[in-house]
Amino acid sequence: MKLKNYIRVFEQLLYPLKCLKCGVYIDPDTVKPHTMEACFCDHCMEPGFYPIDTPFCIKCGVQFYNNFSENHVCEVCLKTPLTLDRVRAAAEYKGIIKDAIPLFKYHSKLSVTKVFEHLLFQTFLRHYAISRIDLIMPVPLHKKKLRERGFNQAFLLIRNFVKRYQQVFEQSPLWEIDTIALARIKKTQPQTGFDIEQRKSNLKNAFKVVNQKTIENKHILLIDDVFTTGATCNEAARVLLKHGAKKVDALVLART
């Protein structure tokens, strides 16, 4: 047996795979690494996983369930256009991912991070790899919330993007990851349960550009975990554009 196989067996004995939701043991030989099945048992996976695929809205990225076969602009975006140029999401916020994201954010189940990172990077490759991007920017947390949680979930989703990009393209990306130029200066209330107007009001004056030179004339890709009404990313984009950014897109793990 090769050394790496010994190490793998030893790791499995010390740290056996367990379902992050119910705690049942998962046989590592039956699952592929960096998949939802590596973190959740068959029973907990029953609600399903729903990757977003054609047809979807070319602006907000919402999945369509109708007879259309091509991507197009949805009715909501026609009536109330986003400040963001476009939004793309890895999956719909339902099924197992609706359980997984709260476990990740609020219960520090960080072993799912690699799975989420893989999903998000594959979505990045699909939609943004050949686009002009200057900065990839995780939506910031307020410093008090960051201390309470201990991590910014949006940053964890992209912390290895440069390395992943280099592995795929065998060169360094032209974009950089920036966690400084935009700050969250208002400790907002949780958005859950708020309607769209309440969400907008809650986020008013929440963000501040710390370094304007960094963002001037730049194409920025915002990163967040969940996109519901888009109030958070939209407000961040508004502030960035007001201070000189040229275009702001968003890439999220899941959207409703």
Confidence of residue 14 (pLDDT cuts 50, 70, 90): very low
CATH number, domain of 220, equals 3.40.50
Q: How far is CA 120 from CA 26, 66, 89, 207, 225, in A?
A: 24, 26, 8, 24, 10
Q: Is residue 229 part of a domain?
A: yes
CB-based contacts of 230: which residues, under 8 Å, 6+ apart?
60, 82, 84, 87, 250
Residue 175 corresponds to which amino acid?
W
194 vs 230, which has greater pLDDT? 230
130-172: per-residue pLDDT in tens? 899 999 999 999 999 999 999 999 999 999 999 999 999 999 9
- Look at residue 16 in the predicted model and tell me its pLDDT: 59
Q: Is residue 165 part of a domain?
A: yes
Q: What is the chain's alpha carbon radius of gyration, rounded to the nearest angstrom?
A: 19
* Residue 30 domain-assigned (yes or no): no
Domain that residue 138 falls in: 47-255
Counting the structural domains of the chain, the total is 1
Question: Residue 189 falls within a domain, yes or no?
Answer: yes
- Give this prediction's pTM: 0.89
